[in-house]
Amino acid sequence: MNTDNRPVPSLTGDEREMLRGFLDFHRATLAMKCEGLTDEQLRRRASPPSTLTLLGLVRHLAEVERTWFRRVINGEDLPLVWSEAGDYQAAYDATDATRAEAFAVWQAEVEHSRRIELAAPTLDITGHQPRWNADVSLRLVMLHLIHEYARHNGHADFLREAIDGTVGA
């Protein structure tokens, strides 16, 4: 049971319900880590020389959602949001970014991802991941995103604590 506003993933549902639930839980965790902070705080580097910031994580995860759901599973021919050259690292540079811009893009990409996942008849549908030169299933994509969010939410824990001392969850 959560004492915050994050969705509680099913512990007994079917595979798809559980994957969806844990992915939404991790998405909500990232948003929670950013709550109540100013743009300046969201751009603050906690561990120089690393350029990693909370806002950079939001931007990066928008690119991750876009890439795996829209480009790989849905086969859409789209550039990255923050790099026409396809540089995934560019999203981390939040030097001039704002909460409004980063969160609008991230939330839009999450909604596209949800729409694509809900429309898929099965987790077994595949798309091509050119960076791996391999076909991957929607199941793998959902697992990969859970992994990405969980890993980056660990970073968000440290970043948030360094900003204002907030810890937990």
pLDDT tens profile 85-100: 889 889 999 999 999 9
**What are the phi and psi torsion angles at 109 (to 5°)?**
-65, -40
- Range from 38-42, 47-51, 60-64 carrying the lowest mean pLDDT: 47-51
- Range from 49-53, 63-67, 102-106, 131-135 carrying the lowest mean pLDDT: 49-53
Specify whether the CB–CB gap between 152 and 29 falls below 8 A.
no
Mean pLDDT in the chain?
Answer: 94
pLDDT of residue 3: 58
User: Binning pLDDT at 50, 70 and 90, where does residue 1 land?
Assistant: very low
- Residue 16 pLDDT > 70: yes
* pTM of the model as a whole: 0.94
User: Binning pLDDT at 50, 70 and 90, where does residue 5 land?
Assistant: confident
Residue 63 has, within 13 A of its CA and on its CB side, a CA count of 20
Six-digit token pair at 37? Answer: 């902070």
Torsion angle in degrees (nearest 10) through CA of 63, 6, 103, 57: -50
Enter the CATH code of domain 15-164.
1.20.120.450
- Residue 32 pLDDT > 90: yes
Can you tell me the distance from the alpha carbon of 43 to that of 32, in angstroms, rounded to the nearest whole number?
16
Instruction: State mean pLDDT over 74-94.
Output: 93
Q: pLDDT of 112-165, one tens digit each?
A: 999 999 999 999 999 999 999 999 999 999 999 999 999 999 999 999 999 999
